[in-house]
Structure 1
């Protein structure tokens, strides 16, 4: 697509970030900042009435999750390019944003050159990443190197109840087994996923799509 006067919207809950990005992008005649928002839902209302070529979107917003907003943007206006601009560099967040349709993922410490190049890349139908993000997403995870752990039906049931915050006593009561049996399942799950605690177990289970 032509990048002449590409319409850009900035969605970030920090006004100083918006001001800085606006000042930087206004120096380039091929871009026009048509609006900016500190809340995601306000932007979605705007998008229903206006064409947007690129939205620069923070993941952490006061009224909603940027990952959810990204998915909504793509459902409402598939032609709108979404560049995540955030401080979050967790692989799970990066992959979720891409799964939800993001065209680029840049860190807020990216240089102005990286951001400008990123906008041009997504306008030309390419994906764009900060150098640091490229390194993260090209590095295979443990579960991409090795087979995924195989869970029994009962282990999956226990996993889902653990993720729901239930104690071993409550899980044992629901599944009509002894608390000792549930503790054994807990230990087996930690071993199979090679994690140290329940928090890590739940996190990796969400990443792998085992928990809805």
Structure 2
């Protein structure tokens, strides 16, 4: 359990009210938690953070107004002492590694048990990097060097990359792969970060040079 001698404030950033209420219920009565605040967009939370503090942020990766991977970096720049725990349905290794690189202190899948959530909170507050069971299995407990290494393209990213080279728009790709435009944009941005490029033209050129197509 969390230490009863200290008090922590928690911010939940997720656009699904059911998830927010579920997390509130899960955390109610946990010793050490003094307050909980909920936000449905990244912009709303960042505005709040300008005048308030949160010890822990439970952050969804897929938000309606911002990429959660980038938001994590913004949170750590604005409030370096704030602990960010990603809470997501996304189980792709590349996303897990990238948000850890951007300053997160852990990653939990939304199907984690109440006991796992509480354990991860304690681990993060103790200065560790916390993973739910399934995430541990995905990462197999990587070392620090692996966390800093560029991640390879996932199968989905390669699918989107191929469609980008065919001149498809984000909307077109989303329809063809039955994804949301935000998800497609997240994958595109991930690929550009991995290949260290700034636009679609450079992305295609880098992909050709590295024989990713």
TM-score (norm 2): 0.67
Secondary structure, aligned partner of 1:102: coil
Displacement, 1:34? 3.2
Match of 1:17 in 2: 19
Secondary structure, aligned partner of 2:195: coil
RMSD of aligned residue pairs (Cα, Å)? 3.0
Displacement, 1:209? 2.9
Q: Distance in 1 between matches of 2:109 and 2:18?
A: 16
Give 1:98-137 correspondences, 5 Å limit.
98-137=100-139
**1:55 touches 1:83 (CA, 8 Å); kept in 2?**
yes
| Structure 1 residue runs without a partner (length 5+) | 149-161, 169-201
Match of 1:75 in 2: 77
Displacement, 1:29? 2.7
- Of 39, 50, 54, which aligns to 1:52? 54
**1:12 touches 1:38 (CA, 8 Å); kept in 2?**
yes
Q: Distance in 2 between matches of 1:115 and 1:204?
A: 27
Match of 1:186 in 2: none
TM-score (norm 1): 0.67
Secondary structure, aligned partner of 1:36: strand
Give 1:143-154 correspondences, 5 Å limit.
none
Structure 1 pair 93/164, CA: closer, same or farther in 2 (3 Å)? Answer: same
**1:25 touches 1:33 (CA, 8 Å); kept in 2?**
no
Displacement, 1:167? 5.7
Matched, 1:209 2:211: no
- Of 34, 38, 41, which aligns to 2:40? 38
- Of 10, 19, 22, which aligns to 1:8? 10
Q: Distance in 1 between matches of 2:75 and 2:128?
A: 18
User: Which one has the largest radius of gyration?
Assistant: 1
- State how many pairs are aligned: 160
Displacement, 1:166? 5.2
Q: In the TM superposition, what whole-angstrom CA distance separates every residue of 1:62-108 from its partner, at most 9, and x where no partner exists?
A: 11111111000000101000000000000110111011000010000
Q: Distance in 1 between matches of 2:71 and 2:196?
A: 23
Secondary structure, aligned partner of 2:52: coil
Q: Distance in 2 between matches of 1:19 and 1:163?
A: 39
